[in-house]
Amino acid sequence: MKLTDFKALTFDCYGTLIDWETGILSGLQPLVEKAGITPSRDQILEIFAQNESAQELETPAMPYSQLLSIVYKRIARTWGVAATNEEANSFGASIPDWPEFPDSVSALQYLKKHYKLVILSNVDRISFRASNTRLRVAFDAVYTAQDIESYKPSVRNFEYMLQRLRDDFAMEKGDILHTAQSLFHDHVPANRLGLASAWIDRRHAEAGWGATNRPPGTPRYDFRFDSMAAFVEAHQKELRG
């Protein structure tokens, strides 16, 4: 199997192209200070992951920015402090402030010349629009949890994406390489559907699972890269033969 075998790259956005962990930590800092605690970076991300996943299961049709507001209040309760609606909504509205990874823009601009580029994200459309501006590329399709009314790792999101790519672009499963950081949200369901995947291991230098839950079992992937820049280098090497 080679990278050049595929016609489309389907991307998770947050954690893969957008540095959501930096954004999450920044957005939760006022709550940490209010609670008067000193958790580690990974402890903050872990409590976020637990509450985010639980809320997504409880309210699968809720737009992500609204869901984040509830997650903020859940974390506040865990830490034994009160959070105002204004504070929670500010966190929910922080997605446009989450930065892109330094290599995302140049990698996407290069890959756009060789593939259809597609987003499959747990975010809502308005929030993604701001992130898309940061990424500076025209994606060929964008499928969000808001459209599907469920959140990854549900296979429903992937089934929706595959059907749309079949209907709109005449692409079959074998034409598609799902490209994502989260083993929990993306590679586990990709495995269940027999979809080829590339792991962008943004946390390769860090322990733990960061802002995602531990994946069940041992997810498989067909390619692994530390960054999107490394993905591009591997593609260029294939083209050189």
Task: Assign residue 122 a region (left: φ > 0; alpha: ψ between -120 and 50; beta: otherwise).
Answer: alpha
Rg (CA), the chain: 18
- Three-class DSSP category at 45: helix
Look-up of token digits 């737009």:
63
Q: Answer yes or no: are the C-beta atoms of 234 and 199 closer than 8 Å.
A: no
The one catalytic residue among 12, 19, 124, 186: 12
Nearest to 207 by CA among 12, 98, 46, 25: 46
Per the annotation, the verdict on 12 as an active-site residue is yes
The one-letter amino acid at 1: M
Give catalytic residues, as residue numbers.
Answer: 12
